[in-house]
Amino acid sequence: MRTRIPWRKRLLVRLLFASVLIAACSVAATAWLAVTTTTSALEEEQGQDLAADNKILAQLSGYAADHPDWSGVRHTVSALAAQTGRRIALTTADRTLIADSAVRGTALPPRPAAAIDPLHTDTYTESGAQLSGIDPRVVGPYRLSAKERGDLDAVADKERYCYDSYGIRTTVAHTPSGRPYLVDDDGTDTSAFRSIGCGGLDDPLMAMKKGFLGATRTEAKALTTLTDLVRPCLRSKDLDLAGQLYLTFDQTGRNPVTGSFLLTTKQARRDQAQTDQLAKGCVTGARRTQLEPYAAPAAELFLGLGDQTAPRFDMSRANKAKIVGAAGLVLAFTVAVTAVVATRLVRPLRALTLAVRQPPELHTRAPVRTRDETGLLAEAFNDLTERRERLEEQRKAMVSDIAHELRSPLTNIRGWLEVTRDGVVDPDPALLASLHEEALLLQRIIDDLQDLAAADAGTLRMHREPVRAADLFEQVAAAHRVAADAAGVTLVTDADGTVWLDADPVRMRQALGNLVSNAIRHTPADGTVTLAARRDGDGIRLTVADTGKGIAPDDLPHVFERFWRAEKSRSRRTGGSGLGLPIVRHLVAAHDGTVEAASAPGSGAEFTLRLPAGEAPADVS
């Protein structure tokens, strides 16, 4: 009856499920890795692009801060474009082209990247940032002359030596206008060390009190102009300027700024913070007015990728559809390949299952179409079938042989008993001796079968003890001496007296007796049967050799099979029951040994028993 396998337990379904699961995990892992890697690469590239953009913006802002117009900017734009690989274009607010690194006629990007206006945007104080305020590089009328720089550098050197005397290591740096200032080893200013008494450069008012240089001639002139520019704004806000504006520094960016003592002309109700904010607004506006002639007008900066194509990872609907489609194709291909492979794997298994389900008496073979593991399984099944078929044939032959062997003596016994009962023959001693011989033959066959059954079942009883090989040979030879003399065969024993076995003496005599009786039966008159025992490495080798006609090469592999006889006529004159040699093989195997036969036609046969060596008893010298 055919058993139906549930779908979830079928090999094909399991293979398909496993392949789909593996493919899905592979696709997911690959997609995750691709997205992660692409995102990381894009972030890194965007960071590099941002750094390049900031560099371009800072340098062009510096150019605008140092030049009154854009007339000479083309060289700077070309150099920056070559360094960064970006397209750089500058236009006025109304999109009039100032400079462009691209070929003439190339369309501008849709949106400007940034506005360049050093009077309103500071790209110098903090790298990579766009702060509101005036770029410190817009120096204008505050730029120091060479003589003024030299005088201030001398003061800076004195201040540096002063700090050195206190163990404070400082270096001299310069603002965009050329004014020097001191910084310590980590790049910070020295304002924290003012209490020492060396400072002055970073506070012009303090410098003037100490006799150092305060505002230089150039700075004083510029401050006077700035004071005149800021007064109208302060007055409009009810603020009055009591004195001249002075020069100070922003301690974080080292930017020169201006300030003053502010007094209100009217007692307006406002707090100090509001007053400072209003004053700061007036000063900043006045500074822009003062510096405007020295800085280039505001411009718009356009950035592109030049001849490169911008990499973009756009998770749009179309790209999502592409990813889903690719994953679907991978899964479909995986399922198709798995289905083909699984079908090829399952087909021989189904054929093998069909062969197994056939009736045993048919001995059906499975077809072998491949040389893989499935093909090897089919070959193993076919070998098993062949062995089973041979065993079945041997079983049938054995049953027939047992029936034949038992029938002959039983027939003889029954026939003689019947004629004796009917008074045809008198029960004389000769008849009784013949019947007794037939009974002994039956007993021997039954004993042999019982021994074989015990050996097959593993219940053959063994009583091992130290046995001298020479004594064993003498006992066997004595038991078969009469039969040998009657057949005209000479029995010879050749055993080393030091050879000992750890064996059951009864079972070993039985095994050797079967070999000797066979040898006597197949040796002609005046022949010789020799029993020899020798050491063979770590073991013992026992041989029983005769000078008979030998065993044919085709018959040699079958001599240890049950009920096999070279004489097919089953004549007891040339063959016994066919159980002697199988019993020998089992008895030797029970002693952890092996037996083999060797023969050449016309030169007799030799049976060799290889057994483990035993130790002599302690009381034997």
Q: What is the pLDDT of residues 189-220, one digit of tens each?
A: 666 666 666 765 555 544 444 433 467 888 88
How far apart are alpha carbons 224 and 221 in whole angstroms?
5
CA nearest to 576, candidates 451, 457, 409, 455? 409
Of all residues in the chain, what percent carry a pLDDT higher than 90? 11
Q: What is the pLDDT of residue 266?
A: 39
Q: What is the pLDDT of residue 360?
A: 72
Average pLDDT, rounded, for the chain: 78
User: pLDDT category, 300, cuts 50, 70, 90?
Assistant: very high
CA nearest to 609, candidates 472, 444, 485? 472
User: pLDDT category, 74, cuts 50, 70, 90?
Assistant: very high
Domain boundaries 358-458, CATH class: mainly alpha
User: pLDDT category, 490, cuts 50, 70, 90?
Assistant: very high
pLDDT tens sequence across 546-583: 998 888 888 787 787 766 666 554 444 444 556 778 88
pLDDT tens sequence across 248-294: 544 444 445 444 433 333 334 456 777 778 888 888 888 889 999 99
**Residue 304 predicted with pLDDT over 50:** yes
**Residue 230 predicted with pLDDT over 50:** yes
User: pLDDT category, 610, cuts 50, 70, 90?
Assistant: very high
| Nearby residues of 449 by Cβ (< 8 Å), 6 or more positions away | 402, 579
CA nearest to 120, candidates 105, 106, 104, 138? 138
- The answer to whether 13 and 7 have CB atoms below 8 angstroms apart is yes
> In 209-304, which ranges are E strands?
240-241, 246-250, 255-259, 262-263, 299-304
Q: What is the pLDDT of residue 308?
A: 47
User: pLDDT category, 116, cuts 50, 70, 90?
Assistant: very high
The 3-state DSSP class for residue 184 equals: strand
Q: What is the pLDDT of residue 314?
A: 53
Query: Is the four-CA dihedral 378, 384, 389, 392 of positive or negative sign?
Result: negative
Domain residue ranges in the chain: 1-134+304-349, 140-294, 358-458, 461-612
Q: What is the pLDDT of residue 298?
A: 92
Q: What is the pLDDT of residue 5?
A: 60
pLDDT tens sequence across 148-201: 888 888 888 888 888 888 888 888 888 888 888 888 777 666 666 666 667 655
Q: What is the pLDDT of residue 210?
A: 42
- The answer to whether 274 and 267 have CB atoms below 8 angstroms apart is no
Residue 286: CB atoms within 10 A of its CB come to 22
Q: What is the pLDDT of residue 178?
A: 87
pLDDT tens sequence across 392-435: 776 776 677 677 667 767 887 888 888 888 887 788 887 788 77
How far apart are alpha carbons 81 and 306 in whole angstroms?
8
Q: Any idea which of 82-91, 139-148, 340-349, 544-553 has the lowest mean pLDDT?
A: 340-349
Q: What is the pLDDT of residue 169?
A: 85
How far apart are alpha carbons 46 and 86 in whole angstroms?
13
Q: Any idea which of 86-90, 92-96, 360-364, 381-385 has the lowest mean pLDDT?
A: 360-364
Quote the tokens at residue 565: 């006889």
How far apart are alpha carbons 147 and 518 in whole angstroms?
137
Q: What is the pLDDT of residue 462?
A: 77
Q: Any idea which of 58-72, 250-264, 501-515, 567-581 has the lowest mean pLDDT?
A: 250-264
Give 33's strand partners. Answer: none
Write down the pTM of the prediction. 0.46
Q: What is the pLDDT of residue 543?
A: 93
**Residue 322 predicted with pLDDT over 80:** no
**Residue 544 predicted with pLDDT over 90:** yes
Q: What is the pLDDT of residue 91?
A: 92
Query: Is the four-CA dihedral 345, 347, 350, 355 of positive or negative sign?
Result: negative
CB-neighbour burial class of residue 49 (10 A; exposed 0-12, middle 13-18, buried 19+): middle
| Nearby residues of 469 by Cβ (< 8 Å), 6 or more positions away | 495, 496, 499, 500, 501, 533, 540, 542
Looking at CATH, the fold of the domain delimited by 461-612 is given as Heat Shock Protein 90 (3.30.565)
Q: What is the pLDDT of residue 11?
A: 64
Quote the tokens at residue 507: 């079972």
- The answer to whether 118 and 61 have CB atoms below 8 angstroms apart is yes
